[in-house]
Structure 1
Amino acid sequence: MAVTIKDVAKKAQVAPSTVSRVLSDHPKITQETKEKVRKVMEELGYHPNLLARNLVRQSSQTVGIIMKESSEHSLFDPFFPAVLKGMSDLLHDREYSILMTTGETNEEIYQDVVKMVQGKNVDGLIMLYSRDEDPILEHLLKRKFPFVMIGKPATHIDEIMYVDNDNVKAARDMTQYLLSIGHKRIAYVGGNPKFEVHKDREQGYREALQISGIQETIIFQTSATRESGKELVDKLLKMEKRPTAILTTDELKCMSILSALYAESLRVPDDISITTFMDSLISELSSPPLTTMDIHPFQLGYEAAKTLVELLENPNMMRRNILVPTSLVKRQSCKKLTMNEETL
């Protein structure tokens, strides 16, 4: 027979209402009583009915995660498991579950979110991206549903709490590092400009060149596939003056380009230097190990989840935004150029 609150109350010699208050961590219950009741729960093997408790609270005790793209694509992106670990660590401590969108298209992801919100399946949402003209964002704002965004909003910036890196500064710092070791022809390989992160990183790249008095920009927008990497390297080889360094905006793009370079017998960093954003085991174990801009995705996820939980507990809290610092990790994928190599 299952152990009940009454069984716990009888052995602990307290009222059943006191046991309920201990379960909700009520501030008026003394720490001594809480410890005594919890000890009895452990001895009897009592486990609270979380579903019933959540019904009383009118809460699902669940946070929804809105994927940037299909779940299948996200699982291959090193950013996703790292940011998810940060979120899950915080949410586990606060006794929240996670529900993720599973749609394979933008429309399917939108419908997943509508079901979460209208079905009250989640208490709040975390968006893993920021994008122009996003119907999901408009839906959440219209419904006044609590959410936090990872990434700087493209619109409604005064209405949205978000966690992000200073991506303009991060890309500027990375470009300036390449400039400092002698590279003047630097190619930038970004992604879809509809996403704020790619617009900001391209801006940082442009600013660094402008500060150094370099007028020439070499900009590509591509996806993270083997075919895209090959197409990009083909374009580089056809250029009259090939770049001496490549700045990529994510590890998957970088690895696809690295593979294509080797297929053309170009060696990193002897023939060309390459850098990327993120800093997972992929970068560390690459051949050669990659110079990266660490964006600290675990911290991004942790801070986003922490902010959302605080918003759920205090809906009238003052709006705030958090910038997680980035850090340059120098490895062997970048070569310092000599005077002769600079002018080739």
Structure 2
Amino acid sequence: MTVTIKDVAKRAQVAPSTVSRVIADHPKITQETKEKVRKVMQELGYHPNLLARKLVTQSSQTIGIIRKTSSKHSLSDPFFPAALQGMSDLLHQKEYSILLTSGESDEEIYREVVNMVQGKSVDGMIMLYSQDDDPVLRLLLERNFPFVMIGKPTDHMDKVMYVDNDNVKAARDITEYLIRAGHEHIAYAGGDPRFEVHKDREHGYKQALKRANIQSEFMFRQETSKENAREIIKKIFDLNPRPTAIVTTDELAAMSILSALYEQKLRVPDDMAVTAFTDSMLSELSSPPMTTVNINPFQLGFEAAKTLIDLLENPSMMKRNILVPTSIVVRESCKKIKENEAIR
């Protein structure tokens, strides 16, 4: 026999409308009542009709996740699954599903977002990036569509709610860590400068050198794949003075650099110190284990999802931006160097 809302209400000694509001997680229902009703629902084996709920509330109960790159690249980047887990944990609590973009180009991703907005297949969106002159951002602003960004927007900062790290400080901190270890010539292998995160980290790297009165900058502004890491290492070892350390902006770049160094029979950290951002198990298991900046991607995802749900529940809420702290995780890919090593 099918259990109904009325059955749950009778057992819990509340009105059927209260049960409906508990199912919808209505903020005006006390936590005590919610727990009591949910316990009865579990005892009776009652399962809400989610399709009917969506029709009544005019909600898809789905959040769109917009990736900056192709699905193949996203799945191999340790940042993405960690951030996705943070979003999933919060959204699961609120009974929301997730719909990921799967395009392999900027144009395909843009078309998917247009379809999501026009087809009302999602209630809101989380952008996992911030870049210059982004048509996706313009579309969401023009349509007044609810969204939150992971990353500081390049413009429209008064209109966009975002969650981010202080990437300038984070890059400055890791560069200064290398300087304190005795490195005076430090290279920077950054990603595509269209993306705000890479611009901020580059800025932090430069700040650290300026504070230490180090004049030499060694910049490599490109996505560091395994293929072009060899070329970067070749260029670094042709430099005079030669850098003794490399700041990379993500773990995949760092692993590519490690591979290129080992191909040249160069040792880390004896011949070159290497650092990365993110701090996943990939860094723990690398050889040697990687010194990283932990940007807390799980927390970035969780806070982005929480902010978006708050916005959906209260569209007139005051705009807010959240900075998630970072920390340096010291492992074995860096070491202090002697004065004669620093000038060789």
TM-score range, shorter chain: over 0.9
Question: Normalising by structure 2, what TM-score?
Answer: 0.95
Query: 1:192 — aligned with what?
Result: 192
Moved more, 6-15 or 286-295: 6-15
Query: 1:179 — aligned with what?
Result: 179
SS of match in other structure, 2:115? helix
Q: 1:87 and 1:221, CA in 2 relative to 1: closer, same or farther beyond 3 A?
A: same
Query: 1:170 — aligned with what?
Result: 170
* 1:299-329 deviation per Cα after TM superposition (whole angstroms, max 9, x unaligned): 1111111111101111111111111111011
SS of match in other structure, 2:87? helix
Q: 1:9 and 1:216, CA in 2 relative to 1: closer, same or farther beyond 3 A?
A: closer
* 1:82-112 deviation per Cα after TM superposition (whole angstroms, max 9, x unaligned): 1011111111111111111111111110011
CA distance in 1: counterparts of 2:179 and 2:323, whole angstroms:
26
Query: 1:24 — aligned with what?
Result: 24
Query: 2:333 — aligned with what?
Result: 333
Report the alpha carbon displacement of residue 8 of structure 1 after superposing the two structures with TM: 3.8
Q: 1:330 and 1:10, CA in 2 relative to 1: closer, same or farther beyond 3 A?
A: closer
1:297 aligns with 2:297: yes
Q: 1:15 and 1:207, CA in 2 relative to 1: closer, same or farther beyond 3 A?
A: closer
* 1:1-344 to 2 correspondences below 5 Å: 1-9=1-9, 16-25=16-25, 37-344=37-344
Report the alpha carbon displacement of residue 159 of structure 1 after superposing the two structures with TM: 0.7
Question: Normalising by structure 1, what TM-score?
Answer: 0.95
CA distance in 2: counterparts of 1:118 and 1:302, whole angstroms:
26
CA distance in 1: counterparts of 2:35 and 2:168, whole angstroms:
50
Gaps of 5+ in 2: none
Q: 1:103 and 1:180, CA in 2 relative to 1: closer, same or farther beyond 3 A?
A: same
* 1:53-89 deviation per Cα after TM superposition (whole angstroms, max 9, x unaligned): 1211111111110001111110000000010111111
The size of the alignment, in residue pairs, is 344
CA distance in 2: counterparts of 1:230 and 1:84, whole angstroms:
31
CA distance in 1: counterparts of 2:29 and 2:298, whole angstroms:
35
SS of match in other structure, 1:63? strand
SS of match in other structure, 1:254? helix
Q: Percent identity?
A: 69
Report the alpha carbon displacement of residue 332 of structure 1 after superposing the two structures with TM: 1.0
Report the alpha carbon displacement of residue 237 of structure 1 after superposing the two structures with TM: 2.4
Moved more, 332-341 or 245-254: 332-341
CA contact (8 A) 2:5 2:16 kept: yes
Q: 1:38 and 1:178, CA in 2 relative to 1: closer, same or farther beyond 3 A?
A: closer
**Structure 2 counterpart of 1:304, which letter?**
A
**Structure 2 counterpart of 1:81, which letter?**
P
CA contact (8 A) 2:241 2:343 kept: no
CA distance in 1: counterparts of 2:79 and 2:29, whole angstroms:
42
CA distance in 1: counterparts of 2:105 and 2:30, whole angstroms:
52
Report the alpha carbon displacement of residue 4 of structure 1 after superposing the two structures with TM: 2.8
Gaps of 5+ in 1: none
**Structure 2 counterpart of 1:48, which letter?**
P
